[in-house]
């Protein structure tokens, strides 16, 4: 299911192998380290620190936004590699949140840096508003797929769930409320389950009126 406004993923070329894969991984690791140090490096700055030629670096990452997406994807790791499947929507949501929140806390510095950098101008122009959002939308949409909700209700559900999921939610729960991982995860999950139940209830009422 595609959510309106969602960044459409274009089929990519086969991932690099051998030396090319190692160079790309070095770039991603270097960018992540620099970001955790509070920097907002450009592709050329990461290339210089990593000891990679600028032409090679830009072949892998034409813009800083492309590089940042790779850093975020690396930090998310198995969450993207092994998406949650099976069970009903409530069970899938719970599995997704219990897999994601530990990752958010473990790689907190990286995600915070990515959030900050996503709001800064890219080398190619204004900030890239799609950074990190495609992952969130796709993961949440997959978790609640198959509910039989009308398209507008399904989209509204994913939008509402996005307020409880991801770096911004972690920042609110940790910085404003001082919650640790376990408490933040439970609050976020409780909110998500309530949002899901409300969406299902609204749909049931509409169907009852129409019957």
Tens of pLDDT, residues 173-182? 999 999 999 9
Rounded-to-integer distance, Cα 198 and Cα 203, Å: 9
Under DSSP, is residue 53 helix (H, G, I), strand (E, B) or coil? coil
Provide the pLDDT for residue 101: 97
CATH for the stretch 14-62: 1.10.10
Under DSSP, is residue 131 helix (H, G, I), strand (E, B) or coil? coil
Distance of CA 122 to the CA centre of its chain: 19
Q: Quick count: other Cβ atoms within 10 Å of Cβ 96?
A: 22
Instruction: State pTM to two decimals.
Output: 0.79
Residue-range domain boundaries for the chain: 14-62, 71-210
Tokens at 41, concatenated: 């490096």
Higher pLDDT, 5 or 121: 121
Rounded-to-integer distance, Cα 70 and Cα 91, Å: 29
Residue 41 has pLDDT above 80, yes or no: yes
Cα separations in angstroms, 114 against 6, 52, 87, 132, 208: 19, 22, 32, 8, 45
**In degrees rounded to 5, what are phi and psi of residue 93?**
-60, -45
Residues forming beta bridges with residue 125, ordered by sequence position: 122
Q: Quick count: other Cβ atoms within 10 Å of Cβ 189?
A: 18
Rounded-to-integer distance, Cα 211 and Cα 192, Å: 29
Residue 11 has pLDDT above 50, yes or no: no
Mean pLDDT over 23-32 rounds to 95
Tokens at 63, concatenated: 């813009």
Provide the pLDDT for residue 211: 72
pLDDT per position as a tens digit, 53-78: 999 999 999 998 899 889 999 999 88
- Residue ranges of alpha helices (H) inside 62-166 are 64-76, 78-81, 89-106, 108-118, 133-143, 151-162
pLDDT per position as a tens digit, 118-159: 777 665 555 554 555 578 999 999 999 988 888 999 999 999
Under DSSP, is residue 125 helix (H, G, I), strand (E, B) or coil? strand
Provide the pLDDT for residue 78: 83
Tokens at 49, concatenated: 């620190």
Cβ atoms 158, 140 nearer than 8 A: yes
């Amino acid at each position: 299911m595609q959510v309106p406004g969602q960044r459409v993923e274009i089929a990519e070329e086969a991932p690099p192998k051998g030396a090319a894969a190692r160079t790309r991984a070095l770039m991603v690791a270097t960018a992540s380290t620099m970001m955790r140090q509070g920097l907002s490096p450009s592709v050329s700055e990461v290339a210089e620190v990593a000891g990679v030629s600028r032409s090679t670096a830009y072949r892998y990452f034409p813009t800083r936004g492309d590089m940042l997406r790779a850093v975020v994807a690396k930090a998310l790791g198995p969450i993207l590699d092994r998406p949650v499947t099976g069970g009903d929507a409530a069970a899938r949501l719970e599995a997704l949140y219990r897999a994601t929140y530990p990752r958010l806390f473990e790689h907190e510095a990286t995600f915070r840096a990515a959030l900050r950098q996503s709001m800064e101008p890219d080398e190619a122009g204004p900030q890239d508003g799609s950074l990190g959002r495609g992952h969130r939308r796709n993961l949440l949409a997959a978790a609640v797929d198959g509910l039989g909700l009308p398209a507008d209700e399904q989209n509204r559900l994913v939008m509402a769930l996005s307020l409880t999921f991801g770096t911004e939610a972690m920042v609110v729960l940790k910085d404003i409320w001082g919650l640790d991982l376990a408490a933040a995860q439970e609050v976020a999950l409780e909110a998500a389950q309530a949002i899901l139940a409300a969406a299902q209830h609204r749909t049931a009422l509409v169907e009852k009126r129409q019957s």
